Structure 1
Amino acid sequence: MKVVGDVPPDLANSIDEHGSLVTVDPADWIVCFVPGLRRQWWHRFVHHRHKHVFAMRPTSTGSWLLVEPWWTRMMVTILPPADAVRFLRWGATGDILRIREAVPGKASQIRGWSNCAVLSAFLLGRPSWTWTPHGLYRQLIRERSTRRENVQQLLVDQFTKVVSHCSSNALSVSADQLSLPLRELLIIIGRNLLETMMTPSLLEVCYTAILEADRYPDATRAYAQHGPTPAIAVLTKILERAKQAGEVDLADCEAGARQFLGMLHGDVHLEAVLQLREIPTLSEIDLRARNAVKVFLDGAEPDEASILARGALTA
């Protein structure tokens, strides 16, 4: 048993081989070497595109972790996707590198005076004696594992990961649920879809996809491909099966799926994306799903003539 001063023994004896209470795998950082946003007297002495450096890292919810060394403090904060894009666009005016951090690292605190280059090297766990962002850039670009990045692909990758994860959870249907009557099944799926749509992190991703559609169209397409498109596909299969069973009379099941999805989110989703209203409560979501299913099925149920005609064909 180790006893270190006033540290509880259970903590002192639970550190890993690197002296940390938790063991964390090395992560990739998006390191941006950029020109200045404001002119500074010392800019004339450094590289024209590498006057500052900061680091970012995407999270699993669509937000980004930002570490930006300032003159007066170290800014460490979580950015929503739309704000993160602004920093990434700034990064695109210089150079963006993907760097795997070193754990436990080989940097040292004895460097003394710190600036953005020194602190970024320390964040990455790199031994470095350079004082300029360009010097750090030249050091990192020589590493075999370093990769150049562009903003659009970074957004495509993150939107794909976040939206596909949310969609798969919302659209997962068990075998028992598939055996339920169509009305009950659609209520379950509708409620799951609405709850997912109204997740704050997904609303922020949707807002960013809309906001950046002209600038980064591939990212917006990635959002649509992994969000609405799978939902339409699942709903189409359910409606096709219901049509074969004679539960609905739809000429185009895919069009019906699109219509049902539109009835689900209506204007409430857009208002939530634009922050024009509060996110609906679970009870409000349940009521909206039930109302959408009722209106949809009442309009899609086969009329008496269709039932008689189908009976005549099968007789």
Structure 2
Amino acid sequence: MAKVARDLFVAHGFAAVSIDEIARRARVSKPTIYAHFGDKERLFLHILETACARLIAPLVSEDARGRPIAEILRNHAHHYSRAVLAPEVVALHRLCVGEAQRFPTISRRYFEQGPEMAHKALAAFLQERADAGEIDCPDCDLAAWHYASLVIATARTRLLFRVDDTPQWQEIDRMVASAVELFLRGIAADTR
């Protein structure tokens, strides 16, 4: 049901898709959709939240606590890029940006559930490591935004503007690895 709705929203925009159309395509009744999600906006928010939940997982896992920051960030960047640059997530991002003027509540909610939540988790992680003296990061909040931009901005821009039709994973992996190494050099603790 949610996948059918997501595909319809991406293809036609939020406003143009009705609950009737979602029910018909998903082969369920309208009351079933309302019972599960409440209304069209909450269904859309569920789709966004599901897509965004994958963004912070490698940072908050229990085994991340004792591992070196370089290993954690390399792992996170790989998973983060796969989550953010997945075709369905790029399509949802494009849709939210396109609908921001008419549906600012939905766009803000996407920002809160995706970029902002991932950012806060990363900033908190960096602050923990800075407090422990492992890194030199005087503004972990800003550093988290820089990290995210380094990791995904080039590839996402190409995908959003349809320069690339699909993610070029080999090239993305190369850019992501370079971005993480650059970021790590920037936050390296002074050992002199």
| TM bucket, shorter chain | 0.7 to 0.9
Q: In structure 1, what is the equivalent of residue 92 of structure 2?
A: 205
Bigger Rg over Cα: 1
What is residue 160 of structure 1 aligned with on the other side? 45
Change in Cα spacing, 1:62 to 1:241, as seen in structure 2 (3 Å) is farther
**SS, match of residue 67 in structure 2:** coil
RMSD: 3.2
Cα distance between partner residues in 2 of 1:255 and 1:160? 27
TM-score (norm 1): 0.51
Give the distance between the partners of 1:291 and 1:62, measured in 2 at CA: 37
Shift of 1:237: 1.5
Q: Please state if 1:277 is matched with 2:190.
A: no
Q: Using the alignment, how far apart are the partners of 2:66 and 2:93 within structure 1?
A: 33
Question: Structure 1 residues 62 and 284, CA, compared in 2 at 3 Å: closer, same or farther?
Answer: farther
Where in structure 2 are the equivalents of 1:285-296 lying within 5 Å? 285-296=172-183
Query: What whole-Å deviation, never above 9, does each CA across 1:89-148 have from its counterpart, x for those lacking one?
Result: xx6xxxx789xx8xxxxxxxxxxxxxxxxxx8xx888xxxxxxxxxxxxxx9xx9x9x8x
Query: Which consecutive residues of structure 2, in runs of 5 or more, have no partner in the other structure?
Result: none
By how many angstroms is 1:269 displaced?
0.5
Cα deviation for residue 182 of structure 1 reads 0.3
Aligned to 1:182: 69
Secondary structure, counterpart of 2:163 in structure 1: coil
The 2-side partners of 1:282 and 1:198 are apart by 9
CA distance 1:61–1:264, shift in 2 (3 Å): farther
What residue number does 1:116 align with? none
Give distance in 2, aligned partners of 1:264 and 1:124: 40
**Counterpart mapping for 1:18-167 below 5 A:** 59-60=2-3, 63-64=6-7, 79-85=8-14, 87-88=16-17, 154-155=40-41, 157-167=42-52
Cα distance change of structure 1 residues 210 and 259 upon mapping to structure 2, 3 Å threshold: same
**Contact 1:81–1:208 (8 Å) recurs in 2:** yes
1:225 is the counterpart of 2:168? no
How far 1:203 moved relative to its partner? 1.2
Structure 1 residues 250 and 286, CA gap change in structure 2 (3 angstroms): same
The one of the two structures with greater contact order (alpha-carbon pairs below 8 A, sep at least 6) is 2
TM-score, length-scaled by structure 2: 0.80
Give the structure with the larger helix fraction: 2
Q: Distance in 2 between matches of 1:214 and 1:258?
A: 24
Please tell me the residue identity of whatever aligns with 2:47.
Answer: V
State, as a whole percentage, how many aligned pairs show the same letter: 21
Q: How many aligned residue pairs are there?
A: 184
